[in-house]
Amino acid sequence: MGTLYRTRAQFRDIGALAAATLAVGASFGAITIAYGLPAWVPVVMSVLIFAGGSQFLAVGLLAAGNPVAAVLAGLLLNARHLPFGLAVADVLGTRWRDRLVGAHIMTDETVAFALAESSPQARRRIYWLVGATLFVVWNTGVVLGVLLGGATGDPDALGLDAAFPAGLIALILPSLRDRDTRLVAIAGAAVAVLLTPVLPAGLPVMCALLGLLVLFRPTRRPPTRPAPTTVPAPANQP
């Protein structure tokens, strides 16, 4: 009974995640058209790269005319997959085909679902289930977004340009629960806003990485209380 309930809960969670992924993928496809990029760009990018946050950032920088910053930002943002790969190395298997495909569909969600399982068989099953589901749903959403963006004629009239920042905010909100992450995000955003008027488009986003410097701030130690002094008891008088 417990196993059946857990399986139902897993399918429910995966379904909710798939619905959210479909919506975000559609917004990505729509804003790509809103930025004036060719319709094939978001489709090919989603199939070959499949990295939601990196794709949003790359499209924004490409639209700003800074492809070098787009590549560098994508590489930095996806650097987190290196420790992810070590964490789920046993899940991907030993064959090169499985490792290549498994690494391609690796996302924060697939790793989180897999590591929540206790047995190797369950981790492998849930990893491929979540990864394949998100890959199909994301690309379906992107295609729908491209069709939607192209059918409107003027995507900005529907406010699709606001989907770019809204999508990025939705992607990073779960990470902001951590205090250090919040400090880095706030510091990086402040740096980017301050440098936007003086630097070319795309570079302020790269400079936002300076927000990581807050992690090296000196930590305040609680004041140490002096040890209580003991007064020796007077000797007994005869």
Q: Domain range holding 75?
A: 2-155
In-domain check, residue 223: no
Distance in angstroms (rounded) separating the CA atoms of residues 173 and 100: 29
Residues 6+ apart with CB under 8 A from 105: 50, 128, 131, 132, 134, 135
Could you write out the DSSP letters of every residue in 57-112?
A: HHHHHHHTT-HHHHHHHHHHHGGGHHHHHHHTHHHH-SSHHHHHHHHHT--HHHHH
Each residue's pLDDT expressed in tens, for the chain with a length of 238 residues: 455 555 666 777 788 888 888 888 888 888 888 888 888 988 988 888 888 777 887 887 777 777 777 777 777 766 766 777 777 777 877 788 888 888 888 887 788 888 877 788 888 888 889 889 999 999 999 999 888 876 654 445 555 555 545 555 655 666 667 777 778 778 888 887 887 777 765 566 667 777 777 777 666 555 556 555 555 555 555 5
Domain count, the chain: 1
Contact predicate 110/131, CB 8 Å = yes
Q: What is the dihedral of CA 50, 53, 56, 59, to 10 degrees?
A: -70
The three state secondary structure string of the chain is: CHHHHHHHHHHHHHHHHHHHHHHHHHHHHHHHHHCCCCCHHHHHHHHHCCCHHHHHHHHHHHHCCCHHHHHHHHHHHHHHHHHHHHHCHHHHCCCHHHHHHHHHCCCHHHHHHHHCCCCHHHHHHHHHHHHHHHHHHHHHHHHHHHHHHHHHCCHHHHCHHHHHHHHHHHHHHHHHHCHHHHHHHHHHHHHHHHHCCCCCCCHHHHHHHHHHHHHHCCCCCCCCCCCCCCCCCCCCCC
In-domain check, residue 18: yes
In-domain check, residue 204: no
In-domain check, residue 220: no
pTM score, whole prediction: 0.63
In-domain check, residue 188: no
In-domain check, residue 52: yes
In-domain check, residue 173: no
In-domain check, residue 17: yes
Count helices and strands (H / E) in the chain: 12, 0
